[in-house]
Amino acid sequence: MRVTPSLFQHAQTLLAEVLRLTSAADQAVAAYFRQHRELGHDERGFIAELVFAVLRRQRSLAARCADDLSSRRLLLAALACVQGMNRRQLAEILSESESKWLAQAKAVRVEDLPAAVRLDLPDWLYGELLAAFAADELERLAAALNQPAPLDLRVNPLRCGRDEVLAKLLAGGLAASACPYSPLGIRLAGKPALARHPLFVDGSIEVQDEGSQLLGFLLQPRRGQMVADFCAGAGGKTLLLGALMRSQGRLYAFDVADRRLAKMKPRLARSGLSNVYPVRIESERDPRVGRLAGKLDRVLVDAPCSGLGTLRRNPDLKWRQSPASVGELAVKQAAILVAAANLVKPGGRLVYATCSLLAAENERVVDAFLAQNPQFVVRPAAQILQQQEIPLDTGERLRLLPHRHATDGFFATVLERR
């Protein structure tokens, strides 16, 4: 796309707002575009991707920019050094002095920068990940996290089959392919507008990362069961669970936020599900939760977490989180896991999951729970997936990583009450 002064000014204004970190980047971007409806789909895509490129590569770009860390300089460095634009392509927005500076910025030897700077990670997060991954694999992981995420769809099996959806998408000119793991997953090339696509409008497809879809197959709910999505949010996984239950049985969608549950309503209407019961709760100790103690066959806990496995689509999270915030989240995760486990009946299944890369939110939370609750045992995740002909084996617990599996980073453990 041609980089005009007007387009660049929009990006500059938006980046300045996003870098304040007063709200999530995707919310700030959405709010800005609501204020500037004159921008077309391609223009919005260009602006958003440029701003997110700065968020992804902020430390290495800052090293190139030296003393001037203005939003303008960061954006110019991103255009030249990340997106590979040359001076001719930037001629409309580049002054002569900036042209000389940009040549110096491009000449910076990134390989000579400290590892955390080169990989665009805060020092604390680099240290945590280096404790979990060998240095060469951490390089690959960081590189994958700094790439934009693909657009994954989930087919609603109550509406149609994946092959049928693929055929319709391809016939409509969209580059689509089956996801390698999820039986309901489809991956699109690029970021086409889907809100008015007939398959989206009639509930045949939903946007959902393939890794998130696999959590539903780990829970493996059956027709007629009593099931809860304990941290339902806007309902992406709830809709999958309801479809796997063939809309039979009872599926509770618990969340503490009215705003998130409200976003579920139009999705539910499109889905054709009739077995979902959204319930706003005050906390994991809400009496409405307690009344279901020992009665549920399946419980999914996609716990509130740092989101550091989703940096491809939420790069601001690595600058917003800290060791202190992760510690606070781990306390909350432990409390939620205990409350959710109380709902599971003997022989029932609980899946604890996060979209975090950190052991503090994953293994340590589960292991501490198991030490205090010997009535629960771990079921091998790979075995459960293989029973459903899903060719994925990451060991006893599910660990998904963007550089290995082309999904967001996910962790999940399957627990069963004896």
Is residue 139 within 8 A of residue 81, CB to CB? The reply is no
First CA to last CA distance, the chain: 59
| Rounded Cα–Cα distance for residues 267 and 270 (Å) | 5
Centre a 10 Å sphere on the Cβ of residue 347 and count the other Cβ atoms it contains. 9
234 Cβ neighbours under 8 A, 6+ residues apart = 260, 261, 263, 264, 267
For residues 119 and 111, give the distance between their C-alpha atoms in angstroms, rounded to a whole number. Answer: 10
Does residue 355 carry a catalytic annotation? yes
Tokens of 306: 């740092």
* Cα four-point dihedral sign 284, 288, 291, 292: negative
How distant, in Å, are the alpha carbons of 53, 176, 209, 309, 310 from that of 125? 19, 35, 24, 12, 14
Per the CB < 8 A criterion, the answer to whether 333 and 399 are in contact is no
Q: How many CB atoms lie within 10 A of CB 30?
A: 12
Beta strand pairing status for 296-302 and 176-178?
A: unpaired
Contacts of 50 (CB under 8 A, 6+ apart): 11, 15, 75, 78, 79, 83
* Burial of residue 97 (number of CB atoms within 10 Å: 0-12, 13-18, 19+): exposed
Catalytic entry in 65, 179, 305, 355: 355
Helices (H), 272-362: 287-290, 317-320, 323-341
Is residue 408 within 8 Å of 182, Cβ to Cβ?
A: no
Name the burial class of residue 96, with classes exposed (0-12), middle (13-18) and buried (19+) by CB atoms within 10 angstroms of its CB: exposed
Active-site residue list: 355
